Amino acid sequence: MNKNKPEDLAKLENVFRSALCLIHPTQKDMTPLVIVEAGYFGVPTIAPAKFGIPEMIIDGETGFIIDELSSDLIADKVSKILNSNGNKMFRKKTREHFIKNFTWEQVGKTTQIEIEKLNR
């Protein structure tokens, strides 16, 4: 899908709105923006404890960080999301977390604060 095309963007947004969770079994994705994009829609993510992912996901609240990519472990985490009051708790916390911490405005503010610390 090309997000620059309105019809493709609408399709992607519908996928996020209806998704139970995002399973991102990456082996090389340093800072996967798909986690942030899904997070804006309240979609919790299951992903490996690699790269920048552990800084993006609050384990057990906005998804799950897993130590290995195994179907049994992923199935267990999906089950936990399914059994969490109809997924409402995860969706609410996930959306709040990503809107609070991962908008362009917030990332800019955080970057500015860190640069100011270095200049002291």
In the chain, what are the domains? 6-118 (3.40.50.2000)
pLDDT in tens, 59-109: 999 999 999 999 999 999 999 998 877 678 889 999 999 999 999 899 899
Nearest Cα residue to 28 out of 8, 10, 52, 64 = 52
Strands 22-23, 63-66: pairing is unpaired
pLDDT of residue 31: 81
Q: What is the pTM of this model?
A: 0.87
Tokens, residue 7: 């019809």
